[in-house]
Structure 1
Amino acid sequence: MREIIFDTETTGFDPKNGDRMVEIGCIEMINRVTTGNTFHAYFNPQRSMPAEAEAVHGLSDAFLADKPLFAARAQEFLEFIGDSPMVAHNAGFDFNFINAELSACGHPIVGLDRMVDTVALAKVRHPGAKLSLDALCSRYGIDRSHRTKHGALLDAELLAQVYVELRGGRQIGLELAADSIEIVTETKVLVQRNRVFRQPRPHAATEGELAAHAVFLQSVDTPLWGA
């Protein structure tokens, strides 16, 4: 199964307010193993970078000034992701931005039915725990010492490791049957497993056991179970 693990960096929180995507990093996984194929790009947002956003990812106006517009690489991005499921942390945020950018340059949006949200997965597996990418890396012993600022490709690489753990680790086969069906929404995970049912084994007492029991009852005064 092919999946795309991805992350974005932006100028803010909401494309409806004029915020733009400035970086995207995508990693290809097949059967929950990274293949080494990636798509990574920076984009000129055609607007200034707020100081608060730059403090998070370190992408300045000067750095982004000579980068292409999203429209220039949109087709390449769409060819890379194909029709594969798209996995992101707090995926609704990232989907809002990539679909806003795709719509702005006349491309079809990515359907939300392809969205897999690792926050939703983590809520099911670790209810009540901290769900940030940093917290999940700590929980699973994933080294993030080189992550001094947010970066789309770096965060996608960390998320790929977290995603494997959320799906049961490298021993996935021990947790999910090969023919199981998994549906992921933003709020919960529904898992249907096909099970093999065996016929019940006979548990009736033998004639010898019944005879021994009858003898035992004769030695008990008014046994409650003798009726």
Structure 2
Amino acid sequence: MTQRQIILDTETTGLYADNGDRLVEFAGLEMINRQMTDQTLHLYVHPERDMPEEAAKVHGLTIEVLEAKNAPPFAEVGQQIADFLRGAELIIHNAKFDVGFLDMEFERMGLPSIEDLGCKVTDTLTMAREMFPGQKASLDALCNRFSVDRSKRVFHGALIDCELLGEVYLAMTRRQFDLMGGAQSEDEQAGKPQAVAETVRTGRLKVIAASAEELAAHEQYLDELGEGCVWRAAAKTQA
């Protein structure tokens, strides 16, 4: 069975799930086989408390805005969120933060934790720090690194951040996916014949054999190098 992946983000009233802060926005985008599906869950949530000015400056959500959107309290949507996440791999940037808030909200309702829902968590912040040690690993920095357009990101909204994170995650894992033999070219996806070298599979890696035309071009290049060609001298020694 194909593993469901969900690109996930939340917005909150503050930084501390264990000290009275609450979740105010949830977004999750489903991805299967590295393709986004039409299964999306995006909810605004009333925190049942005040909204600190500092938090509103980050995500643009005030209590008045949430009430204008008829945002329900988490108790009315928590089961829906839990059912959406159940058994999926969650792709989250700075996962400790979002998982902490979701677990806090679930516990208030008597619902299972993220772990108990059978979810695997992949933290793209940890991935980025391992891939680019000593460099900035924020979502903005990764968008810049992978040329992901973030011009529509006025505030740190959960939905737009999920969309950006989805593109960043695909870019971060593209090389690994290619090595596992899972990627297809545009021609392959369209069912067109490929005028490229033959692919030989060895284990789970792809070895691309040179075509006759490429081999001929290589020999011509070696001819142009003349008698001092190191490549041919080495080949004769090996023979």
Residue aligning to 1:203: none
1:169-196 alpha-carbon deviations (Å, 9 max, x no partner): 6xx5422356xxxxxxxxxxxxxxx768
Q: 4+ residue runs of structure 1 moved beyond 2 angstroms?
A: 172-178
Q: Which residue number in structure 2 is paired with residue 49 of structure 1? A: 51
Rg larger for: 1
In 1, distance between residues paired with 2:82 and 2:115? 12
- Hey, what's the Cα distance between the residues in 2 that align with 1:11 and 1:74? 17
Q: Which residue of 1 aligns with 2:97?
A: 93
* Aligned counterparts of 1:151 and 1:176: Cα–Cα separation in 2: 34
**What percent of counterpart residues are identical?**
43
- What is the rounded CA distance, in whole Å, between the counterparts of 2:177 and 2:168 in structure 1? 17
2:14 aligned with 1:26: no
Match of 1:39 among 30, 38, 41: 41
1:68-217 paired onto structure 2 within 5 Å: 68-111=72-115, 114-168=120-174, 172-176=176-180
Cα distance in 1 for partners of 2:48, 2:178 equals 49
For the residues of structure 2 that align with 1:104 and 1:144, how far apart are their CA atoms?
35
Q: Which residue of 2 aligns with 1:206?
A: none
Structure with the bigger RCO (C-alpha within 8 Å, sep 6+) is 1
Whether contact under 8 Å (2:13, 2:51) holds in the other structure is: yes
Is residue 13 of structure 1 aligned with residue 15 of structure 2?
yes
Which 5+ residue runs of structure 1 have no aligned equivalent?
179-193, 197-227
CA offset at residue 168 of structure 1? Answer: 1.9
TM-score, with structure 2 as normaliser: 0.71
Closer, same or farther: CA 88–108 of 1 in aligned 2, 3 Å: same
Greater displacement, 58-67 / 96-105: 58-67
Deviation at 1:118, TM superposition (A): 0.2
Structure 2 letter corresponding to 1:44? H
Is residue 64 from structure 1 mapped to residue 66 from structure 2 by the alignment?
A: yes
In structure 2, stretches of 5+ residues that fail to align are 183-202, 206-239
RMSD of aligned Cα (Å): 1.7
The Cα offsets for residues 92-144 of structure 1, whole Å up to 9 and x where unpaired, read as: 00000001000001111111861110011111221221101011001111100
Over residues 12-54 of structure 1, what are the superposed CA-to-partner deviations in whole Å (9 max), with x where a residue is unaligned? 0011110000001000000121112100001110110000000
- Evaluate the alpha carbon distance shift between residue 144 and residue 48 of structure 1 in structure 2; reply closer, same or farther with a 3 A threshold: same
Whether the 8 Å contact between 2:26 and 2:43 is mirrored in structure 1 is yes
Is the contact between residue 180 and residue 204 of structure 2 (CA under 8 Å) also seen in structure 1?
Answer: no
TM-score, structure 1 as length reference: 0.74
